[in-house]
Amino acid sequence: MKAILDIDVYRSTMLKNGESQDSITQTFNNYHLLVEETFKKFNGEIWHRMGDGAIVLFPISEDAVSASLQLLNSLVEFNRKKNRLSLPLSVRIGIHETEEDIINVPKDKRGKYASTALDIAGKLQKNCPIGKIAISAEVYDKIGVLQRLFRPSLVKLQGKNFFVLIDRPIMPQEEELLYGLSREQKKVMPPIPFPVWDKIIPGQDINLAKLNEFLSEPLVVILGETSSDPTKSPISSAATSDAIGMIEVMGALRANFEIKAGIDEWEDTADLVSDRNVVLIGSGIVNIYAFALNDIFFPLHFVKTRGRIFDQIVATTAKEQLYFGPHGIPPRDCGLVIISKSPFNLEKILVWVAGITGMGTQAAAILMRELTRDPDGALRRKGVKDLNNPIACVVCPHIAEGPWEIRNYYKRWRISDYKILWAVDQQGRSVNLSRK
């Protein structure tokens, strides 16, 4: 009986982009040495290397799981002291148990050797959430007390459930982003492999006018519905209208059978973010993901300091910095929409829709809905005419002139229109419509 472990560095090619060859060589030499030394302590034998990944054989599954747990913990210190890259290094690990005897396969044939067990271990690795361990049911049955560290995966492999590590270590590069969250809230957040704006800034082919294209691809919608004791956490319960607005956005799309929805505090929401486009709903006041990602979105985010999100939106370019909402440019009920490459996978996109209040989020959701129906007209009709690749907008609710004021709508009527206050494009050109 053998345990087969398949390990790979998550998006290693993307990690290396823009780095010096010396930094790349030092980092990955250090990493491979760490892997080899850690697995050797648990009787692991590297059977085959491929790029930055490896297949490792262990006598029993418990050794493979214990070695993987130690490696994940060791990566904290590795990323702190031995990683010469500007981004954190994360891995994905898949483990399967088999009776197949592959140890005697000649080394020069291992790269092309066909094996059901190898295939399963490889698929577990590729479907593993970032920075975690995925194990087959066969492994789960053999690891005794270690079972308590795992949960069923949200996705299935060949129609069967597999199991995913619940907890994960926090890497040094994430500490500042997660500061202020409770331990349990940090635990449900997946690693953020690309936590800087320079890496996720959208290219020419990614902008708000093309939103309907991205929403038609495999998608996960993350709602902020966390409720907690406000004295112990910066996260509070979200407005129900956040969910209503997103339902209407999804209704405006053509059929998409690859939409999944998750709640920010559900542990298995993290299973989906690495391989799908992401729509994030709510500010960091109500959504753990938004809290962690807030400061990454340089052009547009909420004021955040000392682990707290405040009710003010900051719009930034090289030429200006504007504050919207209370104690800034009115009105109070502002919201934002921003699109970028996903901080979880640069081959995917992330759209963030949020408001200072529930009504601000409603206004942002209406803009998003209109962008799916009429991508060019939704912006042009509201005064955004001179930006070729708009990537972010500040909006507010808009009502027709008459006897009613916005305050009359609170918790009584829905918002049906929006006004754009500010917008920016990929090059940093902005338009300020807040005075019109």
Mean pLDDT for 222-231 is 74
Task: Please give the Cα distance from 139 to 102 (Å, whole number).
Answer: 18
Residue 296's pLDDT is 96
Least confident of 92-101, 168-177, 376-385, 425-434: 376-385
Mean pLDDT for 173-187 is 91
Q: Which of 176, 217, 178 is CA-nearest to residue 350? A: 217
Q: Is the pLDDT of residue 413 over 70?
A: no
Mean pLDDT for 374-383 is 82
Task: Please give the Cα distance from 50 to 146 (Å, whole number).
Answer: 29
- Which percentage of the chain shows pLDDT scores above 70? 94
Residue 373's pLDDT band, with cuts at 50, 70 and 90, is: confident
The pTM is what?
0.91
**Burial grade of 24 (CB within 10 A; 0-12, 13-18, 19 or more):** middle
120-158 per-position pLDDT tens digit: 999 999 999 999 999 999 999 999 999 999 999 988 887
Residue 253's pLDDT band, with cuts at 50, 70 and 90, is: confident
Residue spans per domain, the chain:
2-169, 197-432
Residue 252's pLDDT is 74
Residue 228's pLDDT is 67
Is residue 368 within 8 A of residue 353, CB to CB? The reply is yes
Residue 401's pLDDT is 64
Residue 402's pLDDT is 57
Q: Is the pLDDT of residue 379 over 60?
A: yes
Residue 416's pLDDT is 74
Mean pLDDT for 322-327 is 93
Residue 104's pLDDT is 78
The mean of the pLDDT values for the chain is: 89
Where does 2-169 sit in CATH, by number? Answer: 3.30.70.1230
Least confident of 102-111, 138-147, 274-283, 284-293: 102-111
Higher confidence at residue 217 or residue 374?
217
Tokens at 299, concatenated: 């052009």
Q: Is the pLDDT of residue 82 over 80?
A: yes
Sheet holding 277-281, edge to edge: 259-263, 219-223, 277-281, 345-355, 335-342, 390-397, 418-425, 430-432
Mean pLDDT for 30-56 is 95
Task: Please give the Cα distance from 338 to 81 (Å, whole number).
Answer: 34
Is residue 343 within 8 A of residue 331, CB to CB? The reply is no
Least confident of 78-82, 344-348, 365-369: 365-369
> Tokens 């049955």 correspond to what residue?
141
- Which percentage of the chain shows pLDDT scores above 90? 62
Least confident of 55-59, 76-80, 154-158, 199-203: 154-158
Higher confidence at residue 408 or residue 178?
178
Q: Is the pLDDT of residue 62 over 60?
A: yes
Residue 436's pLDDT is 63
Mean pLDDT for 391-411 is 73
Give the dihedral of Cα atoms 356, 357, 359, 364; nearest 10 deg.
Answer: 30
Residue 98's pLDDT band, with cuts at 50, 70 and 90, is: confident
Residue 359's pLDDT is 83
Least confident of 216-230, 234-248, 300-314, 360-374: 234-248
